[in-house]
């Protein structure tokens, strides 16, 4: 006898329907409608940061789901209020590197991995939605950076310091501090940790190399201003009763205790001038790499070593930094070229940079080219010989000869900008814009300090995906497929189909995250939505049958029912790999769903065999509940592995209630009555909250990709669910094949790409003065004049809304004799032949990795490799690698090449050598 099956809402309001069953703390407050949520949180999320305030981290995946559910973005209102989009309790599990300690993963990126919300917004979200059970809020303080221009940011990562007493340096305790905390705060914490009475006089020392210590004299200095870095050792020394300080060997005179920012060792070690390493102060390899390149730029280093900068410091330039950057750089260069030290610690220089450029003030990994750009600009403004910049009106070329317009542009530039940096590093671009409608030509000449060259983009990319076959007996297989770089999901399916034999039209591509489908892709969506770290699973599903029955595809999540000890309330926890199942619409009943799911999981779930059943159904069927058993179940389960344990557990179950029973067609069309392994719930797309209850009735009315949860009690999962087999997969041969050697491009290819004509994008139009409207003009860059020192930045990092990537293409660049003459469009220009003098290298992925440098010493003309404090010999054949990021070239003098120089009166300073 079959009873009616239907899906109907729980009693109560629409809000009550979506209440999370296992939402953890909070979430009990009445949740307002979507419009009120948008109105209340909109202004809060737009609030400016204020120092001292607390802000909270929210996993961006949960936050995006919430925005979709409430229709927060005006361009994404489709589906607002759809209960399948309900986000459930706030879930930050994706941000934790260690779920036990709830410590953050390293290298999380704002907006990409998490969003920051103020305290009031956090409180509202938790009041409305609750928070996942056991998760502590991730709260951080707003700290202030900068000297003149104040810059506020949320300090996501606190600084870990290793604290110890000078009398017992082996007893180290790790503590976390804000960069805004003072040295006095550290001292107070250390007194508490090491039980030092308040009346005892103490002093603090920080260790920044193996035997080098510096006293932290200013207790009111912040951690940031004191130059303390991640993992640094801080010692506390307690004064003796007789008024002397301890004479421990570690603190003995001559062991390296200094107050000079750049001192390395007390014992003087003679070395070659310039061959001086730079200590890593905590993720400062990017700075060390840039500094080594500049240090080995002869004309700039000679300028500072000869003290020529002293007469040109411009302390009153409003665009400068009161000459402090120039003075800090000069002090560092003199230390590096003294020949007395094998390495120095550039702490004071970093502190000064951080005061003026807050983005470099912390200890997160940064970009060596961005630091170079800041430093060259900062040195220029600090050393600008122009004390009062005149106002200049820009003039259009208006058909005048290029030489006249270029000469005028360069003279105007020198009227406002005149420094050693301009003398050495500045060149001139020619930019040509042509209107596609009226053919108006606009020619301008603009100065540049470095060339940023694009790399030819790869036309395809490798993706690793896991195919879950429709055949439940087959393990999933991991494939490595080649897809077009700017292709669509359909291209991925076609490529996977060729390797696997599974029909592309039967594939559904998903992004699986934390046991749920974060996204189910449409065939026409771009592959640029998929980032390298995403876990992509492709499911083979039935989309049509022989009898042309309409199939519907459903998401299925595994959940374990748990009991919270605090209030004895039940909750659920997701586990396992989600499923996608296809069911004919006319068979969409609970018992058929049960049989389909049972078939799909039969590889890793122990199922009783037909001959093991001694009892038959008596018309009541199987219980739609986790505790229901019918007579005979215990005897049948004894034949399973671990039968005694199963028998004991099942014996505790309540007797079956006839009204909760229904017959189940098992995966093998078996009819014997047995305990149901799981129950169904209709849930939101995250699987965290139930939308409706499933009750007995007729055909279920479900939409495509509706989400169902199959709920297991803990005992059934432990006894019957094989976790190891459920996670098992095989690797296709494509995963084992060596990857193709990456293409090599020449530096001239990058220059040609830079000077190629392009059409402006629709979002970046040019305003045509003739048409009086914005037009998608054609644009072309050319090189008019080049500097003595040519800095070439290879644009290895690419950014988009969905994609952040590093191009590790090998760029072949000449170490000697780079001839740039053919790329200079001034017909009367001289010869531009360059030799390489330095390279900044980046190893690893974007946002992480390590920076080093190759540089040629100006004293002995030999190449060296600089890796933080380490300096070693290098040869020319080592220099060209895929890690090369910024290249420094020095122009040969006129005696070194035979091409004639241009007439000086024609250029009047245009040739910036």
Known catalytic residues are: 285, 850
What string of H, E and C letters represents the secondary structure of 576-598? EEEEEEEEEHHHCCHHHHHHHHH
For residues 774 and 781, what is the distance between their CA atoms, to the nearest angstrom?
20
Residues forming a β-bridge with 421: none
For 808-822, the DSSP string reads: --EEE--SS-EE-GG
Residues 6+ apart with CB under 8 A from 84: 684, 685, 691, 703, 706, 707
Strands 54-59 and 114-118: antiparallel
DSSP state of 824: B
Rounded to an integer, what distance in angstroms lies between the CA atom of residue 325 and that of residue 379?
7
What is d(CA 772, CA 757) in angstroms, rounded to the nearest whole number?
A: 23
Instruction: Give 45-98 as a 3 state SS string.
Output: HCCCCCCCCEEEEEEHHHHHHHHHHHCCCHHHCCCCCCHHHCCCCECCHHHEEE
Query: For helices 34-45 and 119-129, what crossing angle results, to 10°?
Result: 160
Rounded CA-CA distance 840/189 in Å is 40
Tell whether the torsion through CA atoms of 310, 314, 320 and 323 is positive or negative: positive
At 180 the three-state DSSP class reads coil
Convert 747-780 to b/e letters by CB count within 10 Å (16 or more is b).
bbbbbeebeeeeebeeeeebebeeeeeebbbbbe
Collapsing DSSP to helix, strand or coil, 599 comes out as: helix
Report the C-alpha gap between 430 and 184 in whole angstroms. 56
| Rounded Cα gap, residues 859 and 850, in angstroms | 28
Q: Taking the alpha carbons of 382, 387, 388, 392 in that order, is the dihedral positive or negative? A: negative
Specify the DSSP class assigned to residue 99.
T
Give the DSSP per-residue string, 788-805. Answer: SEEEEEEE-EEE-SS-EE
Query: Environment class of residue 599 by beta-carbon count within 10 Å: exposed (0-12), middle (13-18) or buried (19+)?
Result: middle
Token pair recorded at residue 657: 């209630």
φ and ψ at 302, to 5 degrees? Answer: -60, -40
Task: State the alpha helices, DSSP H only, in 654-746.
Answer: 714-720, 723-727, 733-736
Residues 677, 669 contacting (CB under 8 angstroms): no
As a whole number of angstroms, the distance between CA 407 and CA 705 comes to 66
Question: Comparing C-alpha atoms, which of 737, 707, 182, 840 is closest to residue 478?
Answer: 737
SS3 826: coil
């Amino acid at each position: 006898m079959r009873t009616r099956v239907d899906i109907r809402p729980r009693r109560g309001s629409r809000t009550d329907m979506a209440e999370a069953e296992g939402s953890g703390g909070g979430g009990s407050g009445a949740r307002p409608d979507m419009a009120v949520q948008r109105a209340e949180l909109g202004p809060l999320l737009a609030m400016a940061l204020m120092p001292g305030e607390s802000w909270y981290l929210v996993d961006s995946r949960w936050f995006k789901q919430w925005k979709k559910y409430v229709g927060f973005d005006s361009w994404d209102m489709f589906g607002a209020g759809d209960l399948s989009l309900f986000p459930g309790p706030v879930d930050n599990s994706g941000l934790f590197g260690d779920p036990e300690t709830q410590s953050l993963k390293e290298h999380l990126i704002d907006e990409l991995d998490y969003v920051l919300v103020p305290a009031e917004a956090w409180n509202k979200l938790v009041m409305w939605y609750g928070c996942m059970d056991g998760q502590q809020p991730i709260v951080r303080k707003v700290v202030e950076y900068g000297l003149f221009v104040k810059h506020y940011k949320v300090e996501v990562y606190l600084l870990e310091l290793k604290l110890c007493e000078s009398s017992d340096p082996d007893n180290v305790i790790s503590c976390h501090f804000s960069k805004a905390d003072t040295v006095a705060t550290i001292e107070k914490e250390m007194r508490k940790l090491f039980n030092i009475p308040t009346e005892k006089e103490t002093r603090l020392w920080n260790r920044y190399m193996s035997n080098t210590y510096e006293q932290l004299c200013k207790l009111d200095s912040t951690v940031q201003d004191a130059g303390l870095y991640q993992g640094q050792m801080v010692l506390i020394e307690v004064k003796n009763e007789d008024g002397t300080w301890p004479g421990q060997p570690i603190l003995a005179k001559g062991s390296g205790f200094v107050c000079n920012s750049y001192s390395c060792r007390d014992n003087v070690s003679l070395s070659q001038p310039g061959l001086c390493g730079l200590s890593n102060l905590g993720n400062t390899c990017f700075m060390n790499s840039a500094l080594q390149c500049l240090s080995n730029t002869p004309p700039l280093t000679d300028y500072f070593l000869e003290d020529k900068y002293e007469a040109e410091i411009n302390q009153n330039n409003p665009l400068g930094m009161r000459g402090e950057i120039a003075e800090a750089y000069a002090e560092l260069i003199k230390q590096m070229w003294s020949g007395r030290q094998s390495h120095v610690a550039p702490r004071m220089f970093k502190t000064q940079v951080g005061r003026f450029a807050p983005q470099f003030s912390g200890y997160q990994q940064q970009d060596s080219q961005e630091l170079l750009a800041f430093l060259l600009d900062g040195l220029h403004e600090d050393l600008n010989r122009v004390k009062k910049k005149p106002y200049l009106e820009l003039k259009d070329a208006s058909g005048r000869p290029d030489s006249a317009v270029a000469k005028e542009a360069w003279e105007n530039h020198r009227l406002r900008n005149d420094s050693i940096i301009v003398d050495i590093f500045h060149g001139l671009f020619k930019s040509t814009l042509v209107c596609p409608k009226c053919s108006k030509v606009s020619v301008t000449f603009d100065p540049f300090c470095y060339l940023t060259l694009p790399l030819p983009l790869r036309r395809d990319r490798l993706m690793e995906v896991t195919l879950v076959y429709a055949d439940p007996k087959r393990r999933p297989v991991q494939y490595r497929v080649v897809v077009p770089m700017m292709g669509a999901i359909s291209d991925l399916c076609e490529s996977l189909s060729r390797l696997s034999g599974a029909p592309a039209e039967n594939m559904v591509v998903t992004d699986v995250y934390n046991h749920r489908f974060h996204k189910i892709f449409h065939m026409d969506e771009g592959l640029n939505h998929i980032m390298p770290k995403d876990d992509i699973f492709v499911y083979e599903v039935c989309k049509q049958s022989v009898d042309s029955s309409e199939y519907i595809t459903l998401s299925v999540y595994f959940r374990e029912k748990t009991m919270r000890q605090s209030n004895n309330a039940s909750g659920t926890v997701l586990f396992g790999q989600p499923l996608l199942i296809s069911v004919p619409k006319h068979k969409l009943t609970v018992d058929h769903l049960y049989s389909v799911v049972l078939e799909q999981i039969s590889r890793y779930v122990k199922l009783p065999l037909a001959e093991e059943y001694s009892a038959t159904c008596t018309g009541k069927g199987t219980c739609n509940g986790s505790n229901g058993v019918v007579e005979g179940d215990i005897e049948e389960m004894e034949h399973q592995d671990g039968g005694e344990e199963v028998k004991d557990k099942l014996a505790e179950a309540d007797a079956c209630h006839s009204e909760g029973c229904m017959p189940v067609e098992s995966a093998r069309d078996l009819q014997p009555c047995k305990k149901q392994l799981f129950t169904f719930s209709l849930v939101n797309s995250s699987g965290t909250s139930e939308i409706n209850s499933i009750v007995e009735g007729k055909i279920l009315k479900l939409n495509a990709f509706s989400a169902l949860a199959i709920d297991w009690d803990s005992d059934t999962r432990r006894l019957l669910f094989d976790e190891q087999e459920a996670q098992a997969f095989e690797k296709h041969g494509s995963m084992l094949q060596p990857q193709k050697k990456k293409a090599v491009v020449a530096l001239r290819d990058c220059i040609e790409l830079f000077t190629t004509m392009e059409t402006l994008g629709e979002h970046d139009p040019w305003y045509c003065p003739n048409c009086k409207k914005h037009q998608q003009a054609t644009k072309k860059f050319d090189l008019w004049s080049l500097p003595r020192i040519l800095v070439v930045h290879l644009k290895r990092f690419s950014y988009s809304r969905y994609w952040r990537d590093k191009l590790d293409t090998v760029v072949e660049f000449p170490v000697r004799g780079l001839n740039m003459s053919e790329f200079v469009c001034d017909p009367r220009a001289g010869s531009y032949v360059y030799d390489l003098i330095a390279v900044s290298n980046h190893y690893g992925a974007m946002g992480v990795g390590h920076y080093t440098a190759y540089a040629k010493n100006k004293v002995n003309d030999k190449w060296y490799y600089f890796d933080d404090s380490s300096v070693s010999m290098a040869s020319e054949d080592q220099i060209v690698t895929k890690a090369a990021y910024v290249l420094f070239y020095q122009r040969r003098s006129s005696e070194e090449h035979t091409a004639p120089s241009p007439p000086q009166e024609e250029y009047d300073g245009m040739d910036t050598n």
